[in-house]
Structure 1
Amino acid sequence: MKVLIVEDDPMVMKLNVEYLSRLEGMQLVARCSDVTTALVVLEREPVDVVLLDIFLANRSGLEIIEWLRAQKMDSDVILITAASEMETVRAARHLGVNDYLVKPFEFKRFRDALLLCQHQRDALKTQGAQVDQQSLDTLFRATSVTPRRADGLPKGLTAHSLVQVIEAVLDVQKDSFTTEELADNTGMSRVSVRKYLKHLASLGLLSESFAYGQVGRPSFTYTCLDHDALGRLARQP
């Protein structure tokens, strides 16, 4: 796949390029740090996937998505950004972004986002004039490439502990909470709780933001996006 990276932070740009180089079948078309340059590249070069930041100098990366949609260009968009405000998440969803990664992100999550785009684009190329339901599910359902067990959970997670974490989230009496707070409420380790919170964030039920705390220790803050959906997930057999 041909990939365009739009990012104005040199360190994040370097990480994106390094992560992309680990994946087979990926070709870096260009790297841009602003909206104007990115649009010039998109006008001249065919691009399969745009890795896009939102905060770009005094303009928004969402302008690029709006331009792509207006031009009816067949380019997928993966947001890689520090923006986790609900208003931005809703705007991204409305514009049809393929995936949403919040900084800082791990290689595995980056890889999964790119491979899913590649899988869906390859599936499109092999379809005939009409498609069956299984083919449509491949194209439109965001099936993670993360190994999962028969119960649908990623390896290393259990249904019992997931319910325990969800119940703790639903018991929180404020909009946002930290990994540490939830670890105290569940009696689980901070590392274990974070695995479940990341899983819930990957399902679009939580948003995740990041900051450095004392002595450079990373601190993750979460916001519940859908209390009803969380409750239904906890009640699943």
Structure 2
Amino acid sequence: MQHTEHFDVLIVEDEGKLANIHAEFIEKHFNMHVVGIAATLFEAKKLLQQHKPRLILLDNYLPDGEGVSLIESQLLKGMDCSVIFITAASDMNTCAQAIRCGAFDYIIKPLSYPRLRSSLERFIQFVKTQHTYKVVDQQNVDILYQLQSSGAAPSASTKGIEENTLGLIKQIFATDGGETFYSVDDIVEKTGLSKTTARRYLEFCVENQFLDIEMRYGKIGHPRRLYRTKSAN
């Protein structure tokens, strides 16, 4: 009989609306339960002791300190708990410090939800792999490291990106000098692509530094991503 493991998650994020969006996203798409939302390090430590979650989504800039101090704490080191940073901290020192302290992943805001989905999928597979192999050989170790690492950016071909369609998307953004923001729906209307396909191409362009994004928050659970040609500055 196949067992599907359930994961308790703690979200540490001082922007309440954004934290709720994270919570709705992961509970909708994964076998995960958000046990609490903390807006400060103090609250996070209390919830950690109370719930002992398996995963933390952690912001770095908090009202009473930096999230990276939590991953360094003895409290967290004594738990079987992984950390995914979701933060605006884009300086190399913070990123390197988080990785040295064992962060499972590091995602820079504004958050790409396909990127978060990929990270959570890798986390689940990482845990499953640990349960599968009771005795490890080098191949098993390599698999674990590959799952924990984001790795090199996939090529267009490995992500199902077709060059002609990619060129069509880029042409739309190139015609207005980069002044206009487009939503996924706008691109669907202009190209006839499905929403899923249009979104995949747009996120590929963001990952490869061709497009910038701006998040517009509407109702909880419905963040709107707008895309524009990347600024030269």
Q: TM-score range by the shorter chain?
A: 0.5 to 0.7
2:127 maps to 121
CA RMSD of aligned residues (A): 3.9
Distance 2:127 2:208 in 1: 25
Distance 1:49 1:221, change over 3 A: farther
Partners of 1:103 and 1:210 within 8 A in 2? no
Partners of 1:82 and 1:209 within 8 A in 2? no
Q: Give the C-alpha shift of residue 14 in structure 1.
A: 1.8
Residue deviations 1:112-131, cap 9 Å, x none? 11111111011112221x21
The alignment's TM-score, normalised by the length of structure 2, stands at 0.64
Q: Secondary structure at the match of 1:84?
A: coil
Partners of 1:102 and 1:209 within 8 A in 2? no
Matched, 1:20 2:29: no
Q: Which sections of structure 2, spanning at least 5 residues, go unmatched?
A: 1-6, 167-177, 179-198, 216-224
Distance 1:81 1:17 in 2: 16
Q: How does 1:194-205 map to 2 (within 5 A)?
A: 195-196=204-205, 198=207
Distance 1:110 1:222 in 2: 27
2:55 maps to 49
Distance 1:157 1:120 in 2: 30
Residue deviations 1:145-181, cap 9 Å, x none? xxx78x87322166xx9xxxxxxxxxxxxxxxxxx6x
Q: Secondary structure at the match of 1:18?
A: helix
The alignment's TM-score, normalised by the length of structure 1, stands at 0.63
Partners of 2:52 and 2:79 within 8 A in 1? no
Q: Which sections of structure 1, spanning at least 5 residues, go unmatched?
A: 162-179, 181-190, 201-207, 224-237
Q: Give the C-alpha shift of residue 106 in structure 1.
A: 2.3
2:93 maps to 87
Q: Give the C-alpha shift of residue 76 in structure 1.
A: 0.7
Distance 1:131 1:27, change over 3 A: same
1:139 maps to 144
Query: When the two structures are aligned, how many residues end up with a matched partner?
Result: 184
Q: Secondary structure at the match of 1:31?
A: strand
Residue deviations 1:71-107, cap 9 Å, x none? 3322110011111112211211221211111112222
Partners of 1:4 and 1:30 within 8 A in 2? yes
2:195 maps to none
